[in-house]
């Protein structure tokens, strides 16, 4: 799954300009060239998560997973109408 390698690349680069300039190449390097196994990826991700407090890390992981699941189940028209409804709610408050 490419998602793990992409997240690993973001954690390794850890900076705005580094991500902007090298992210596109690094995650492909991890996925296609290095071809890390699940155990190796888990160890590397554990090293990277030490940069973030655990509570925030787990919260972000859960939110990103829920967001991915929700957006994958929705059709494009549902997403557009949902976003439009949220925008009108914010403007009326």
pTM of the model: 0.48
6-65 pLDDT, tens per residue? 888 888 887 888 889 989 898 889 889 888 888 888 888 777 766 666 677 788 888 888
pLDDT of 67 over the 80 cut: no
Res 87: pLDDT: 75
Residue 79, C-beta contacts closer than 8 angstroms, at least 6 positions apart: 71
């Amino acid at each position: 799954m490419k998602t793990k390698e992409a997240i690993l690349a973001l954690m390794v680069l850890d900076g705005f300009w580094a991500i902007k300039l090298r992210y596109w190449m690094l995650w492909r390097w991890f996925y296609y060239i290095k071809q890390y196994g699940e155990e190796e990826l888990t160890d590397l991700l554990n090293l990277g998560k030490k940069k973030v407090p655990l509570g925030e890390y787990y919260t972000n992981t859960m939110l990103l997973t829920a967001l991915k699941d929700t957006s994958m189940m929705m059709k494009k028209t549902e997403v557009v109408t949902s976003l439009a409804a949220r925008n009108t709610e914010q403007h009326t408050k």
